Chains A and B, each alone.
Chain A
Amino acid sequence: MKFVDGNAREKYNWMMSSALDPNLPTDAVVTESKPIAVAVASEPGGPSDVDLMLAIQREDADALSHLYDRYNGIVKALILRIIHNDTEADDLLQEVFMEIWNQAKNFSAEKGKPLGWMVTLTRRRAIDALRKKQAYARAEERFQAEPEQQPLAWVQNVTEDEIHAGDTRVLMAKVINCLPVAQQQVIELAFFQGMSQREIASHTNIPLGTVKTRLELGLKKIYDGLKELRDEL
């Protein structure tokens, strides 16, 4: 697997980290591990994500403002990928950052990085919203209308120029894009639509065992790809 050149790499702050489950109690067992996640580089001289989270825990509104500026694009993209409605995505974006403010006390830097915590929280909220608002059926109809395009849409914005220019998104997309489309499809449905294996099997008319195998293989490839990225950088 080939990635961006050394100069581009320097732009990124690849860090050993783990995402944190927002629902875990703060006194949960903390284990020593070597997680593989990456984080978006913060502006030079600016506060780190952890600094911002600690400030939010102290009810510093400016810190939340800063965190919002840094991550609203990623958070909204994730929400939009799940609920496919721009107005609802904006509403949920506001709710997610309000929840970050309210739940900040549950974040522990010892257990993971802020981005992972935010993404886990965001995905959960977005999938909940999807189901509660019964948008699920509408999303399903959209999917059925374009079953083959959906996995490709995941990385459709990646161009050769962007790959050469390099950014975190492109690197991540490249890892995912290495997967066969069939594996991308089941991961798409599981992660972005919150479907169970049985729901995916029913939705796609693929045997349950095949769904499971594709999910396992696809996730392992992404996981290994992230590890490879970490090792290279």
Chain B
Amino acid sequence: MSFEQFQNSARLYVIGALEPEELQVFESARKLYGTAAEDFIHQCYALHEAFALSLKPATASSAIKDKLMAMVRDRQGLSGGGPG
């Protein structure tokens, strides 16, 4: 697999779109290209942010945050943790 082919596969890999048989070939190439491969894969995760940021933010129920924070503070109470 050329590095260009590896790059194409890496972009599929980060969104989980490689087929199992492609994954094996990809992992072999990943080892072959070493640090350059890892660098590129890390860069490809930027695609995740791009897709999320392309969406119009949605409005959540205000009760969600209240429930979330109550759960967090309960957990802090149970663990005896918390800031300060």
Contacts and interface: CB of A to CB of B under 8 A. Distances in A.
B79 to A, nearest CB: 8
22 contacts: A18-B42, A39-B49, A55-B83, A58-B83, A59-B82, A59-B83, A69-B65, A74-B57, A94-B64, A94-B67, A94-B71, A115-B49, A119-B52, A168-B53, A169-B55, A172-B50, A190-B12, A191-B51, A197-B18, A198-B19, A222-B50, A226-B50
Contacts of A196: 16-17, 19
Interface string B1-26: 00000011001100111110000000
B42 A220 contact: no
Interface string B32-59: 0001001110111111111111111111
Say what secondary structure dominates the interface of chain B: helix
A9 to B, nearest CB: 15
B46 A77 contact: no
A155 B44 CA distance: 21
Contact of B46 (A31, A58, A116, A216): A116
Interface of B: 7-8, 11-12, 15-19, 35, 38-40, 42-61, 64-65, 67-69, 71-73, 75-76, 79, 81-83
B69 A17 contact: no
